Amino acid sequence: MPDYLYLILGLAMLLLGGEWLVKAAVDIALRSKISLLVVGMTVVSFATSAPELLVSVEAAVSGYLDLSFGNVLGSNMANLALVLGVTALLMPIAVSEKTIRRDYWIMALVTGLLFVLLLDGALVFWEGALLVALLVLYILYQIRSSSHSDIPDELQDAQLYHPALMAFYLLGGMAGLHFGSDFLVTGAVGLARTWGISERIIGITMVSIGTSLPELAASISAIIKRRQDISLGNLVGSNIFNILAVLGITSLIQDLTAQSPDLLRFDFPWLLGITLLLYPLIAYFGRGVISRGQGALMLGVYLLYMSSLFLL
């Protein structure tokens, strides 16, 4: 089968598998009498990060370490610039005080910490353990500081499925994530070799954009439902989980060494720059609202970064 078909099939299976896993995970959590708030802060967050996690683990175990790094760095940039930019162009986004004063700074600190940990060019077991420990603390903090108004939309009217349907979603979701990650990595590496470009660029472009599609869908859905404050919170939370959960768990399984120096000297500074650019837009210039003009700016920055990848 051609590499691009592996890539497309892998993405489709990851997206469908992730959606099914969310349904099954929520059903199981509700049967266990866990509160909707805890389910939203833990189960849903983990399940929606599953595609990125499976792709990064599969790439790392297969020896394609730059694909694993590129997936996370590229996904985080896509969340803040591509997804946010497109969403704001559709409708200005209201930003909650909690996002400005707390969640943004947690994301910025976690991103900065990852940069410090990667100064030696590698993410090893103890550093992965540190990220996972911070993930646990972050989840506990989120639960303690959140209110029932923070329950995700998909849980507001949550209901139990028939046990057979729940089992189908669970097994189908797990199978979709397993085979989808395998197909996606196979297709991405094959295309990189065919086109003569690096695994890093494939990871930062095709793979990361593909695994960011759920965030784009969730943000547009929030806009349609007139819950604009949720869309930015979703993206910030996704970036935190990508670093703490995806890279943390992956480096517990396999030490990650950046094979391309461009990951640290070029890609990471872009991620830091996009992260820092976001704050004045939400806190000062927009005064709590990301306008269409600001969305166009973020999208323009992302397109500039994408074009610069092929000029190195």
pLDDT value, residue 168: 87
| Residue 225 per-residue DSSP state | T
d(CA 29, CA 43): 8
**The dihedral sign for the CA sequence 7, 26, 88, 107:** negative
Residue 307 has pLDDT above 60, yes or no: yes
Q: Which residue has the tokens 């099954």?
A: 24
Domain boundaries along the sequence of the chain: 3-309
pLDDT value, residue 36: 58
Strand locations in the chain, DSSP E? 93-94, 122-123, 256-257, 289-290
Residue 96 has pLDDT above 70, yes or no: yes
d(CA 39, CA 46): 10
d(CA 162, CA 221): 26
pLDDT value, residue 190: 83
d(CA 107, CA 236): 6
The pLDDT-based confidence of 206 (bands split at 50, 70, 90) is: confident
d(CA 22, CA 86): 25
Helix, strand, coil share (%) of the chain residues, nearest 5:
80, 5, 15
Note the pLDDT tens digit of each residue in 52-85. Answer: 787 888 888 888 888 888 889 998 999 899 988 9
The pLDDT-based confidence of 177 (bands split at 50, 70, 90) is: confident
Residue 155 has pLDDT above 70, yes or no: no
- Looking at domain 3-309, which of 3.20.20.20, 1.20.1420.30, 1.10.150.530, 1.20.120.140 is its CATH number? 1.20.1420.30
The Cα-based distances of 174 to 1, 24, 91, 179, 310 in angstroms read: 23, 10, 35, 9, 35
pLDDT value, residue 226: 63
Strands 122-123 and 289-290: unpaired
Note the pLDDT tens digit of each residue in 16-57. Answer: 887 787 777 777 777 776 665 566 556 666 666 777 787 888
